Structure 1
């Protein structure tokens, strides 16, 4: 399934409300192959709600339209949607003590559509856990396995809620490098992820979508979005440039 030259993902007037509050108002936005988008904003600004809406999952108070490959979400069957977009929640909820290897096998939607799932585990530094039960993993290990599961789905678009949660600095770098290699215009793939780590966002993303949590939003390339005025406005605190990165003052 191909999007041709058009966007992989598009929103038209997307509005989200929760608890009597307007989180997002009139989002008109496009994601093209090769782009790596990070969502930034304070807690409860609507990042997770937006990712759920983009994935076609239930979100209260939603209005507007989301399109995948030029088609409205509602026009996609469940099987088509699973082959087009992959969703990684903020934290996995494991009910059964399945081995990681079996979990990866069950995550494949399009056999042969991507690299060997075990190779993905190796790239994310969790190959040695293949025979361990998922219920025996640390938080960081489980998060990297979840990312590998998402990739194994074989979709063109990955939607990732806090993919570097619980990661130490070494593995934050591992995830950033792997995600940079995974998305590509030639491969016809892109991802959208949320993160609170602005340093990591600067390393991993090509574009940023900032949410203020009161309806306002702004989107653009990383170089235009990660500056002191924008970060101060989004987070409500001062920021300092340090070694090519940004740190809260």
Structure 2
């Protein structure tokens, strides 16, 4: 990897599913220190895009994805865990491991934070000895975020990381993202989300999927605006007292 290589780069990436074009010719980079949120309507392709960026199977794709300056296809499976971590929206646990054991098994490159730090920061320290199959949806989701961070990869991909969280934990995770990525300036994060106001707290940049294959990308100040949100969601938006509302 050269010193100037982005952590993630999509080159003319196109994705199709069920006869629809989800993403057309995506040319996009993620640099160290950036926190991106992917927005779009339901079925716009957010989860499919994150799977493609993580190197997982998708219905149909063209173009290239690079991690740390190398084509995704050039990474051996074992080495891919060194480059990127992925937290899916839905998890299926097949073994009755304890939370502590699961997190220990998830660590590939120790150093960004300790298990104890992750447990405290995500408000799950009291669950360390509990079996993962005994957790609520929100608890399991926060454990998945801890797994993603503890893997130690510089590129972290998370699909709907606050979909099961109450407002207090949503705020906590937004703050955690900022510390997680800015701690040493070498990591970056890409997450999908729907809540525009949460995105303003959690992200530095936004990638918008328009639903017809089109896309746009830029800083939060540029992207969280009435014209962009109306194009993405198909409804009017207004800002009231610093809060964005669909109308």
Fold-level similarity (TM above 0.5): yes
Residue in 2 that maps onto 1:213: 211
CA RMSD of aligned residues (A): 1.2
Sort the Cα spacing of 1:185 and 1:174 in 2 relative to 1 into closer, same or farther, 3 A: closer
- Structure 2 length normalisation: TM-score? 0.97
Structure 2 Cα separation of the partners of residues 108 and 4 of structure 1: 25
- What residue ranges of structure 2 are gaps of 5+ in the alignment? none
Q: CA deviation at 1:182?
A: 0.7
Structure 2 Cα separation of the partners of residues 134 and 204 of structure 1: 27
Is it true that 1:244 corresponds to 2:242 in the alignment? Answer: yes
Structure 1 moving runs of 4+ over 4 Å: none
Residue in 2 that maps onto 1:59: 58
Count residues with an aligned counterpart: 247
Structure 1 Cα separation of the partners of residues 182 and 11 of structure 2: 24
Is it true that 1:34 corresponds to 2:71 in the alignment? Answer: no
Structure 2 Cα separation of the partners of residues 185 and 173 of structure 1: 19
- What SS does the aligned partner of 2:182 have? coil
- Structure 1 length normalisation: TM-score? 0.96
Residue in 1 that maps onto 2:22: 23
Structure 1 Cα separation of the partners of residues 232 and 37 of structure 2: 14
Q: CA deviation at 1:185?
A: 8.0
Structure 2 Cα separation of the partners of residues 189 and 50 of structure 1: 20
Partner deviation per Cα, 1:171-205 (whole Å, 9 max, x = no partner): 00110000111113843100000001111111100
Partner deviation per Cα, 1:120-179 (whole Å, 9 max, x = no partner): 011110011001111111111111010001111010000000000111111001100001
Residue in 1 that maps onto 2:97: 98
Contact persistence 1:206–1:221 (CA under 8 A) = yes
Structure 2 Cα separation of the partners of residues 24 and 114 of structure 1: 33
- What SS does the aligned partner of 1:183 have? helix
Structure 1 Cα separation of the partners of residues 20 and 8 of structure 2: 25
- What residue ranges of structure 1 are gaps of 5+ in the alignment? none
